Amino acid sequence: MMQNKFKYIFLIIFLLGFAACTSVEPDPGSDDLAEMDAGSGEEGDVDDLGEAGADDVGDEFADEADVGDLGSDDMATADDEGFGGDEMAGEEFTDDEFAEPDLETADAGQEPLEDDGLGSEDPLADSDPFPDPVEEPQDVASEPLPEEPGGGVEDFAEPAPGGVAGIKYLANQAGGTVVIETSGKANYRTRLNEDSNQFVIEIAGANLPRRLKRPYIMKEFESEFAAINAYQNAGATTARIVVQMRNPGRALVQQEGNSILVLPPTQENMAAFVDDAQPDEIVEETDLTAAVEEDDSEPSYNVAEAEKDEKVLGSRTLDEFLMGNNKYYGRKLSIQTKDADVRDALNFIAEYSGINMIISDDVGGSISLKLREVPWDQALITIMRAKRLGYIRQGNVIRISTLGTLQAEADSARSIIESQKSLIPVRVKVIPVSYASVADLSTQLRPFLSESRGRIAADARTSSLIITDTDEVINRVTRLVKNLDIPPMQVMIEGKIVEATEAFQRSVGVNWSFDGEPVTLSDSGGANGGPLDLRTTFSVNPVSRDSLRGNPFALSLTVGRLDFLGELGAILSLAETENSAKVLSSPRIVTLNNQAAEITQEGQVLTKSTVVDQSGGSKTQVDRTPVTLNLKVTPQITAAGSVILDVDVKRQFAGGVVDTESLARAINTRQAKTKVLVDNGQTAVIGGVYQSDNTHSESGVPVLKDIPVLGWLFKARGRDFQKNELLIFLTPRIINFGEKSGGAGEDIETSSLVNILKGEG
């Protein structure tokens, strides 16, 4: 019985011992990290070599980025320094270092990669393979911060031992240099992602300050480096600096003291890059979009937003910006502070935006701000206006100072320029003038001369200008004279004047005449002792004899003759006249631009006037008075090739007869003034000079002409109808329009006026 108990006890002890032995041996297929023995005194540091999340500046003004691990299998490093042999040779940088991973999408249970045979010096190398990267959407940096040449990152605190002290970019003719400053001699390694053209520098045992965890965009520089991104995961001891290359190629890295210099690849290196690539350094990349690429690929930063940096504060001074531009292009920020120093606020905006800013010593004071989602350039302008500050942009550097200081500098610069101008020698030049008036040109050019030293004189005899001034002013005035002294364009005005006249006259009546028998009153009481006779004469002539004499076809019918105490006669008179006339004239005249042209047609009519003689008496006389048709046109040529015509038409014509004996007539006048716009070669019609006279007349023996029916025997009726119409057609033609006009002293080709007048032009 006791033997069975001992057997059972021994079997239990054996099983417990076997279980204890198996618990110490690590399982090669396990996904968990092997724990270090508590008695060995070694403690593992977790360093995440998976996807990187970039952290921005960690103060209250900056945006925070999400940082996460892509896997639970992190690599534990021993207390010894360095990587130890080829410790990290099996890791490949296939994911975009500029993208920010999503913490929630990481899979903690991923299958690890196969062991690539890391160095035997690392006791945990066999148990810490890297997980496969997880394919997920990439969050790109929305608005990068541009890094200016030579600016680098300002050192605000002393870095920790083995830490990264600063990251700078130095522009030079060789394509630029990236300088990574460390607090001591760094232990680093490099690797390349060929597909995304990203070159990675990994510094072991280094602490990356939070202020350096941000992207540096170098879009404005002519360099092989497109951007730089520095990051370090939480709890990791390896700092990574990712350099985005513009073209394929491996950058050159060399260490000098406490600095790591990254040089752009040479042409030979870029040409041989594909042939020299090691197959074992390239793993199969997941289907991820490269974060920073050139040309057609989607970049990790917004190109449209980056191009706005060229417009940010593009004006040279604050006044020019406020007058010419009210748009802001900077990345938005939020600021809330109370009684902060103005210099600190300006320094924060400079650090946030990445611009090169110099703040003068006279800038000071405090300011309280509460801005939410405001473009940084608008915030900067608002601060400067609130504190009466201004800026001057010189290249890519903005210098901020008080308005008084900037105004004093501007006045001083203006004084220096004026004093320098007074030292420039003057000379005299004679400029001949061909077409313009030298007196007018001298008046127009005087404001363009120097105020104290410039002089101009006009010589009318030689048609020349004598100018005394500096070479710069004389050259400017010479160009002005060349543009002003050009031959004036000419306009040929072709007119057609059409005058239509229509007249109608009609006279109907009975002319009575009576001649009595002579009666002798005395044989000797007449003239010269002759007999004195008395003879009675009577006549009624309603129809004018002038109308009968002027009309050879007038009807004069003697009705009868009575021989009673003399002769009594009655004559029926009918007269009718109709006139129709059409006058056509086509004058042509050529005039200069803005110069009046006048066309006149003249005739004469008889007019009756009363004059006073020397004795104070008056007498009536008949004169011949001219009757004119006057057309006055002033053309003005426009830049579009049309012509503005200022037209003044004056028409005089003979009116009705005012004296039947002398046939004197009255003179009537019609006038029209207008302005019309006509294209070159088109015709303008000017009408409206129209007259229509319709006169009805009745004459006869008083009382007798009013007797019904019988009254027609003692009266006559007449009708006079006249119509006069004037039409004017004007066609302007510009001579030499469109041909090159020469300046002073140049030959000018002109069209043949003779051909134009002949209708061949």
- pLDDT confidence of 312, banded at 50, 70, 90? low
Q: What's the CATH fold of domain 427-485?
A: Ribosomal Protein S8; Chain: A, domain 1 (3.30.1370)
Q: What confidence category does residue 151 fall into, taking pLDDT thresholds of 50, 70 and 90?
A: very low
Calculate Rg over the CA atoms of the chain: 57
pTM exceeding 0.85: no
Q: What pLDDT is stored for residue 234 in this prediction?
A: 83
Domain with CATH 2.60.40.3470 in the chain: 164-301
pLDDT for res 758: 40
What pLDDT is attached to residue 477? 93
Residue 410 CA, chain-centre distance (Å), reads 30
Provide mean pLDDT across the span 79-94: 37
What pLDDT is recorded for position 634? 93
What fold characterizes domain 164-301? Immunoglobulin-like (2.60.40)
The more confident residue out of 245 and 100 is 245
Listed in sequence order, the residues at least 6 apart from 44 whose beta carbon sits closer than 8 Å to its beta carbon are 33, 36, 76, 77, 78, 124
In sequence order, the β-bridge partners of residue 164 are 182
What is the rounded distance in angstroms from the CA atom of residue 38 to the CA atom of residue 30?
Answer: 20
* 650 — pLDDT class (breaks 50, 70, 90): confident
Determine the pLDDT at residue 27.
44
Residues 724/670, Cβ–Cβ less than 8 Å: no
Digit-coded pLDDT (tens) for 214-269: 888 777 777 888 889 898 888 888 999 999 888 887 888 888 888 999 988 865 44
Coil, helix or strand at residue 502: strand
Which of 72-76, 288-292, 336-340 is modeled with the greatest confidence?
336-340
Strand ranges in 101-176 using DSSP code E only, listed in sequence order: 164-170
Report the Cα–Cα distance between both ends of the chain, in Å, rounded. Answer: 147
Res. 530 pLDDT band, cuts 50 70 90:
low
How confident is the model over 383-389, as a mean pLDDT?
A: 91
Other C-beta atoms lying within 10 Å of the C-beta of residue 32: 10
pLDDT in tens, 501-514: 777 666 666 555 65
Write the pLDDT tens digit of every residue in 595-608.
999 888 888 888 87
3-state DSSP assignment of residue 105 = helix
Q: Is the pLDDT of residue 644 over 90?
A: yes
Q: Which residues contact 662 (CB under 8 A, 6 or more apart)?
A: 606, 608, 622
Instruction: Return the pLDDT at 652.
Output: 82
Q: What is the pLDDT of residues 711-759, one digit of tens each?
A: 777 777 777 777 777 788 889 999 876 554 444 433 333 333 334 334 4
Average pLDDT, the chain: 68
The strand ranges marked E within 269-365 are 332-341, 356-359
Q: Where in the chain is the domain with CATH 3.30.1370.120?
A: 427-485
Q: Note whether 218 and 174 are within 8 A (CB).
A: no
Residue 33 to residue 21: CA distance in whole angstroms = 19
pLDDT tens per residue, range 556-593: 444 444 454 445 555 555 556 666 666 667 888 899 99
Crossing angle for the helix pair 471-484 and 438-445, to the nearest 10 degrees: 130
Side-chain-side CA neighbours of residue 176 (13 Å): 25
Q: What is the DSSP string of 437-466?
A: -HHHHHHHHGGGS-TTT-EEEEETTTTEEE
Query: How many percent of the chain have pLDDT more than 90?
Result: 16
pLDDT tens digits for range 454-474 = 999 999 999 999 999 999 999
Dihedral sign for Cα atoms in the order 251, 255, 256, 261: positive
pLDDT at 534 over 80: no
Tokens of 512: 């009575």
Q: How many residues does the chain have?
A: 761
- Separation between Cα atoms, residue 635 and residue 646, nearest integer Å: 6
Strands (E), 613-683: 618-637, 642-659, 664-679
H or E element at residue 401: strand 397-402
Higher pLDDT, 554 or 61: 554
Strand bridging mode 356-359 / 397-402 = parallel
**Residue 103 DSSP label:** G
**Alpha-carbon distance 169 to 187, whole Å?**
21
Q: Considering only 480-489, 516-525, 720-729, which range has the smallest mean pLDDT?
A: 516-525
> Which residue did the predictor score with more confidence, 433 or 619?
433
Instruction: Specify the pLDDT at position 402.
Output: 93
Asked if 281 and 86 count as a contact pair (C-beta separation under 8 A), the reply is no
Q: Calculate the alpha carbon distances from 28 to 34, 119, 127, 129 in Å.
A: 9, 17, 7, 11
The pLDDT assigned to 236 comes to: 86
Residue (of 468, 431, 475) closest to 453 by Cα position: 468
Q: What is the predicted pLDDT for the residue at 584?
A: 67
| 3-class DSSP assignment, residue 559 | strand
> Strand 642-659 relative to strand 555-563: parallel, antiparallel, unpaired?
unpaired
Structure-token pair, residue 261? 């210099």
Question: What gap in Å lies between CA 547 and CA 503, rounded to an integer?
Answer: 14
Question: Is pLDDT at 552 greater than 90 in this prediction?
Answer: no
DSSP per-residue string spanning 221-283:
S-SSEEEEEEE--TT--EEEEEEEESSS-PPEEEEETTEEEEEPPPHHHHHTHHHH--GGG-P
Could you report the per-residue pLDDT of 323-376, keeping only the tens digit for each? Answer: 766 678 788 888 888 999 999 999 999 888 888 999 999 999 999 989 999 998
- How far apart CA 74 and CA 185 sit, in angstroms, is 26
What stretch(es) of the chain map to CATH 3.55.50.30? 311-419
Q: What is the mean pLDDT of residues 119-128?
A: 37
* Domain 311-419, CATH among 3.40.50.720, 3.40.50.300, 1.10.3720.10, 3.55.50.30: 3.55.50.30
Q: At what angle do helices 376-386 and 342-353 cross, to 10 degrees?
A: 160
What does the pLDDT look like over 10-55, one tens digit per residue? 777 777 776 665 544 444 333 333 333 333 333 333 333 333 333 3
- 């920020």: which residue's tokens? 333
Are 128 and 33 in contact by the 8 Å Cβ rule? The answer is yes
At residue 172, the pLDDT reads: 79
Residue scoring higher pLDDT (21 or 79): 21
The pLDDT assigned to 143 comes to 38
Q: Band the pLDDT of 431: cuts 50, 70, 90.
A: very high
Which amino acid would we find at residue 119?
G
Asked if residues 733 and 494 have their Cβ atoms less than 8 Å apart, the reply is yes
Query: What is the C-alpha to C-alpha distance for residues 577 and 558, in angstroms, rounded to an integer?
Result: 21
Distance in angstroms (rounded) separating the CA atoms of residues 320 and 268: 48
User: Higher confidence at residue 44 or residue 408?
Assistant: 408
